Amino acid sequence: MAALSNIKTYLILCFALLCAAGFFVPHAQAKANLKYASIVIDADTGAILSQRYANKKLHPASLTKVMTLMLTFDAIKAGKIGLYDRVVMSPYAASMVPSKLGLKPGETIRVKDAINILVTKSANDVAVALAEHLAGTEYRFARMMTAKARSIGMANTTFKNASGLHNDRQLSTARDMAQMGRVLINNYSDYYPYFSRKSFRYKGVTYNNHNKLMRTYKGMDGLKTGYTSKSGFNLVASAERDGSRIIGVVFGGRSGTTRNNHMKVILDRGFAKIDTLHLARLRDMPHPKKRSAVIYAAAGKTAPENNIEPSSGHAIATSNRMNIASSSDHTSLWSVQIGAFKSRVKTDNLLQDAVKVLPKDLTGAYPIIAPLRTASSGWMFRARLAGLTQSQAKDACRFFRDCLVVGPRP
């Protein structure tokens, strides 16, 4: 009996040691992570590559600072502030809890340095000082943040402060954070390199970027981390490989390490899926019937073809890759213009890529080319997706960086 008791004691000790080492997860920790959400999107088109709980409202933590910086960039572009303007640290801003730079009330920091400090150290005191510099009070600035969020399609986001420090009513979603990242990359390309900074030296101290994946994950060049006890470990990240850029968002990681490991997994899957997804959408797209001719009504005559001679009747095939529908047959329908080039080949390639990324409710759109001869540039080939209603055309434009809704010809 003594031997049996010793064996039981030994097994209990082994189990305890294994639990301490993390080999077994106690039942309380094994419960569902209510803070978790994720999404991966194609940065160019917004096409969703994966998502879990992407519309769940959660606390963004310091991901908030991306919006703080977007409004800063807006003010710089508008000439309201300059990179070398001095931002004064108010007593209120200086009272913020860490992470913080620790400037005393009355001390100043250049706007350029403030941007770099927010990206790397994620300093809460600097975020608030910048908000006060731009709007007078953080409260007014938060209202500006929410208005900006609504204007760029972040319908489920409400900001209450500039730093991301916890506020029960400061909420966002993984989908909205991905949209914010996409707008930043596509519309603020001159400023996006700030988010690629791995470290920043200020007054003799080097601050390393909290996004450690930028040093280890192939192709990653930004964006922003976030953490509070109520949010868990959050991350918006962007990476580019072989000409494809994707954006990943993770909310609610239990640790920085597990969050980063999970981000690697979903980004890897995103890159693996992106080409397959595009091909599947192209295959499933209902192509228009072949036309016997292309009528170039906008140009008034047959347009030249790069390396392809126009045939009789003005019919032009596009290297056997797709048929261009007659623009004169669709005067009662709306279209969207997504680009204009001097090269027919480049226009064709853009249209082929474009039809791959539209959601199912818009896959009835078909590609057309509207050529235009100009006095200064010669022939221009306008890439359009046609066969849409007015509301569908507006929806379709959300998927392209440069897009113009084109009404039906009278």
Q: Which residues are catalytic?
A: 62, 65, 122
Q: What are phi and psi of 379, to 5 degrees?
A: -75, 135
- Give me the count of residues in the chain: 410
- In angstroms, the CA 165 to CA 229 distance is 10
- In angstroms, the CA 34 to CA 312 distance is 65
DSSP-derived secondary structure for 25-86: --TTTTS--TT-EEEEEETTT--EEEEESTT--B--GGGHHHHHHHHHHHHHHTTSS-TTPE
Whether residue 245 contacts residue 155, with contact meaning beta carbons closer than 8 Å, is answered with no
For tokens 């249209």, the residue is: 351
- In angstroms, the CA 261 to CA 255 distance is 10
Phi/psi region, residue 36 (left: phi>0; alpha: psi -120 to 50; beta: rest), is beta
Whether residue 336 contacts residue 404, with contact meaning beta carbons closer than 8 Å, is answered with yes
| DSSP assignment letter at 361 | G
Whether residue 223 contacts residue 22, with contact meaning beta carbons closer than 8 Å, is answered with no
CA-nearest of 268, 260, 269, 275 to 219 is 268
Helices in 246-296 by DSSP H: which ranges?
256-284
